[in-house]
Amino acid sequence: MVRVLAVNSSAPESGVLDIAASALRSGALVAFPTETVYGLGARGLVEDAVAKIFAAKGRPPTHPLILHVDGEAMAREVAYWSQSASDVARAFWPGPLTLVLPRRACVPGIVTAGLDSVAVRFPEHPVAVGIIARVGEPVAAPSANAHTRVSPTEARHVLESLGDRVDLIVDGGPCWHGIESTVVDLTGEPRVLRAGALSWSELRRVLPNLRAPGYSVAEGVARSSPGLSTVHYAPSARLVLVDARSLAEALVRETTAAQRVGIVVWSEEGREAAGGPSACELALVRTLGPGPVEYARALFSALYDCDRAACTVVLVEEPPKEDAWAAVNDRLRRASAHSPAPFV
């Protein structure tokens, strides 16, 4: 049975952090909150421990992991540092930013999927930092969900997604950002590999030549960030992105087809459609937003709710296309990618 321990997220009890750290040191898998999403942690420089992460998630060995550190000094032990790494770390660490840098020899190939680079992140969440500091070495931690499924933003999502495949879950309540860190490749010309909680425009203040994240990932980028090349973040239901004007029509169509429909809206127009004539048939309605920060915080939780409500289809009103919404749009596009019959 997986053990679940509650922790105060702003002032974590040292007894809980000690238990989590000693479980990790003994080679166990421990899920813990970060400011972005829950991570599934294991000792990052110990091959057998890292192998358990891949087994628990059903993650292909071609998808590299992030090493979580408790500061720049620990990051420098696993990665070759640069001036731009210093600049960007000074501005945004600790926080929702992952840096891809040339890796040092001490990092096992299983962590980096055989790449010459390694991803490192110094999280801000006191529970995450407290655990890493007590372990005293980097902690490898992907999002604590089964491969291709929605990232967990609450401890119960970890239970629903991985169940007994985790040894210990540290429950620090909901994550602050609710969407993963932004991944920036600094091995060459700086570029965003994964849009995330830290926006491109904020990063550009420190990295003026940073390449923009595209809404669609080009083949070259997909190859250098293998975890992004396939369907990710998908609920069990078919997720369909619909613009506000087509929502009412889509609702009628799906309910008529006897689908169990969930709906996620953000605008006034979307809210009206969700309250229209077909609304009584809806299994679930979520209004997210109004802004990208609030939307991101609640999105994955809404998708877990849809699964719990056994929705067969989730109609999601398309959010705005602006930069501030890039991470949200990226996740929604991936979540809808496995849709067998896109709504037209």
Q: Which does 141 bind (CB under 5 to 8 A by kind): Mg ion, ligand TXA, none?
A: ligand TXA
Phi and psi at 120, nearest 5°, equal -130, 145
**Contact (CB, 8 A) for 234 and 150:** yes
Q: 102: exposed, middle or buried (C-beta count within 10 Å: 0-12, 13-18, 19+)?
A: middle
Q: Which does 34 bind (CB under 5 to 8 A by kind): Mg ion, ligand TXA, none?
A: ligand TXA
115-152 as b/e, with b when 16 or more CB fall inside 10 Å? Answer: bebbbbbbbbbbbbbbbbebbebbbbbbbbbbbbbbbb
Q: 38: exposed, middle or buried (C-beta count within 10 Å: 0-12, 13-18, 19+)?
A: buried
Q: Report how many residues bind Mg ion under the rule CB under 5 A.
A: 1
User: Sign of torsion, CA 23 26 31 32?
Assistant: positive
- Stretch in the footprint of Mg ion (CB under 5 A) among 141-149, 153-161, 238-246, 331-339: 141-149
Residues that bind ligand TXA (CB under 6 A): 34, 36-37, 39, 63-66, 98, 100, 112, 115, 117-119, 121, 141-143, 180-181, 183, 193-194, 224-228
Phi and psi at 39, nearest 5°, equal -105, 155
Q: Tell me the closest approach of the beta carbon of residue 119 to Mg ion, in angstroms.
A: 12
Q: Which does 31 bind (CB under 5 to 8 A by kind): ligand TXA, Mg ion, none?
A: none
Give the residue carrying structure tokens 């429950």. 171
Q: Which amino acid is at 267?
A: S
* C-beta closer to Mg ion: residue 195 or 261: 195
* C-beta closer to Mg ion: residue 143 or 199: 143
**Contact (CB, 8 A) for 34 and 125:** yes
The answer to whether residue 143 forms part of the interface with Mg ion (CB under 5 A) is: yes
Q: Tell me the closest approach of the beta carbon of residue 87 to ligand TXA, in angstroms.
A: 20
* C-beta closer to Mg ion: residue 43 or 194: 194
Q: Which does 329 bind (CB under 5 to 8 A by kind): ligand TXA, Mg ion, none?
A: none
Q: Tell me the closest approach of the beta carbon of residue 221 to ligand TXA, in angstroms.
A: 9
Find all residues with CB under 8 Å of 79, minimum gap 6, and list them. 85, 99, 101, 102, 103, 104, 118, 120
* C-beta closer to Mg ion: residue 143 or 255: 143
Q: 251: exposed, middle or buried (C-beta count within 10 Å: 0-12, 13-18, 19+)?
A: buried
* C-beta closer to ligand TXA: residue 271 or 338: 338
Q: Which does 36 bind (CB under 5 to 8 A by kind): ligand TXA, Mg ion, none?
A: ligand TXA
Q: Which does 37 bind (CB under 5 to 8 A by kind): Mg ion, ligand TXA, none?
A: ligand TXA
**Which residues lie near Mg ion (CB under 5 A)?**
143
